[in-house]
Structure 1
Amino acid sequence: MTAALFRPVRTRNAFEETVERLLQAIRLGVAAPGERLPAERDLAARLGESRVTLRDAIRAVADAGYVESRRGRYGGTFVAESLPAPARRVAPPGDLEDVLTLRHVLESGAAEAAAARALTPADRQHLAAALVEVSGVDTDQDEYRRRDSRLHLAIAEVAGSPSLTTAVADIRSRVNELLGAIPLLAANIEHSNAQHQAVVETILSGDVPAARQTMAEHLAGTAALLRGFLCA
């Protein structure tokens, strides 16, 4: 699972932030429906929190319907197969532009930074796998958003900056709330998949200007849809 989402908790609100991290991982699809979360000892170590705090957070997330505990040899904490429906919220125009501007800066920069690095074979495989994954979805909105998020996070991860990955994850959560309020269009999926392919190819080839430009174009398409549906 994406390490940046389970980074050490650094605030005094340990319980609240732990709940936030768990929900973010689930909503972004890093922890998919039916998937087992890391073992309690491992997850507590990653978060830098006590197992008591982690258990309280998991209990709260379970009460909200996002995870469930299973007993037995293959037991543990699993993401619920059917997740609660997200609240549909429409951001005021000013908030929408704030999100879109920050996303443009972060994700265009992430693509540029990824292309500028000497990627390892593991990095290349990670990007390629995420691209194949999102390209295999047609009209399932929730599944497409989940795999789309994974690809964008993968690009940030191979840029080599954990702080950047964290920032992209945070802005992606805000973007997904907005995307959840608009329909998923078949033509847009086809276009997005072509753009995803182009972004990954420019990163893998080390073409820094093209990586930034292709990502910016991809983000601009999503921004146009959001403005069209939410600001009319």
Structure 2
Amino acid sequence: MSAAPDASDRAGSAEGGDASDALLRPVRPLNAFEDTVERLLQTIRLGVLHPGESLPPERELAVRLGVSRDTVREAIKSLADAGYLVSRRGRYGGTFLADALPAPSAEEVRFTRADIDDALRLREVLEVGAARLAAGRTLTATERDALWNRLADVRGSETEAYRRLDSRLHLAIAEAAGVPSLVPLVAQNRMRLNELLDRIPLLARNIEHSDEQHEAIVMAILAGDADSAAQTMTAHVWASAALLHGFLD
């Protein structure tokens, strides 16, 4: 059973905010185990929780996901067996994300040009729309701080953490759109996209360019400039498309 997280873990979990709420939502009854594994994987692989951070207690996860504690326990055990989670005993025990997550295998799945285009076109629909909606809203101080913090995180990240923190920024933009059901859609598409991105190298110049575009997108959202936010997000999406087609086609 997962113990309640200590103060540092609670602080880390709070950073996830609405993304955690949106991803850890009730699952479909007929696929309770599979959906529970999927939701937990989304929070792990999209960086809503940090490596080494504690999962919420089993009781809380069961309530949030609308499943039994047995289902949560089975899902956690499966992910622990796969190397994503570790259990610790004692006063500060519980279930924690592994410090080093399993690396994807380049041989697991083959992608066609159609697969790449499908993921990228859906990304354009979802994320350009999210940026435009976010810029059109009057954001709360908490929402504005979340965007700034996520932007600062990705700009200051080490190379090995870049994909995770990049995902967190894009989820924060989806949260800022003010449409709760949009966040899990962006997260699901982001999982597909990261499977593709994990198959190509991180290029220093591309990271610099992405950071510039990230800042321009966030600045446009905070300034309420919907057209600029949407245009820059569109350019950002298709910059990734160019690299993916170049390396994977």
What is the TM-score normalised by the length of structure 1? 0.96
User: Which residue of structure 1 lines up, in the alignment, with residue 131 of structure 2?
Assistant: 111
SS at match of 1:147: helix
Query: 1:99 aligned to 2:98?
Result: no
How big is each residue's C-alpha offset from its partner over 1:101-158, in whole Å with a ceiling of 9 and x where there is no partner?
10011000000011111100000000000000000025x2x30000000000000011
The alignment status of 1:84 with 2:105, answered yes or no, reads no
Q: CA deviation at 1:177?
A: 0.4
Report the Cα offset of residue 173 of structure 1: 0.4
Q: Match for 1:196 among 197, 206, 214?
A: 214
1:51 corresponds to which of 69, 77, 84: 69
What residue number does 1:73 align with? Answer: 91
Gaps of 5+ in 1: none
Q: Which residue of 2 aligns with 1:15?
A: 33
Q: Which runs of 5+ in 2 are unaligned?
A: 1-15
Q: Matches of residues 38-187 of structure 1 in structure 2 within 5 Å? A: 38-88=56-106, 89-138=109-158, 140=159, 142-187=160-205
Distance 2:221 2:165 in 1: 19
2:33 partner SS: helix
Number of matched pairs? 229
**2: CA distance between counterparts of 1:100 and 1:87?**
21
Q: After the TM superposition, which of the residue ranges 98-107 and 5-14 deviates more from structure 2? A: 5-14
The equivalent residue for 1:230 is 248
Cα distance per residue 1:192-219 (max 9 Å; x no partner)? 0000000000000111111111111111
SS of residue paired to 1:13: helix
Residue 22 of structure 2: aligned partner: 4
Match of 2:238 among 199, 202, 220: 220
Computed over aligned residues only, the root mean square deviation of the Cα atoms, in angstroms, reads: 1.1
- Kindly provide the CA deviation profile for residues 1-48 of structure 1, in whole angstroms up to 9, marking residues without a partner as x: 321111111241101110111112111111221111111221111111
Which residue identity lines up with residue 78 of structure 2 in the other structure? A
Which AA in structure 1 matches 2:53? E
Q: CA deviation at 1:90?
A: 4.0
Identical residues among aligned pairs (%): 60
Picking from 199, 223, 226, the partner of 1:205 is 223
Q: Would you say the 8 A contact 1:90–1:178 is kept in 2?
A: no
Deviation beyond 2 Å, 4+ runs, structure 1: none
8 Å contact 1:90–1:230 — kept in the other structure? no
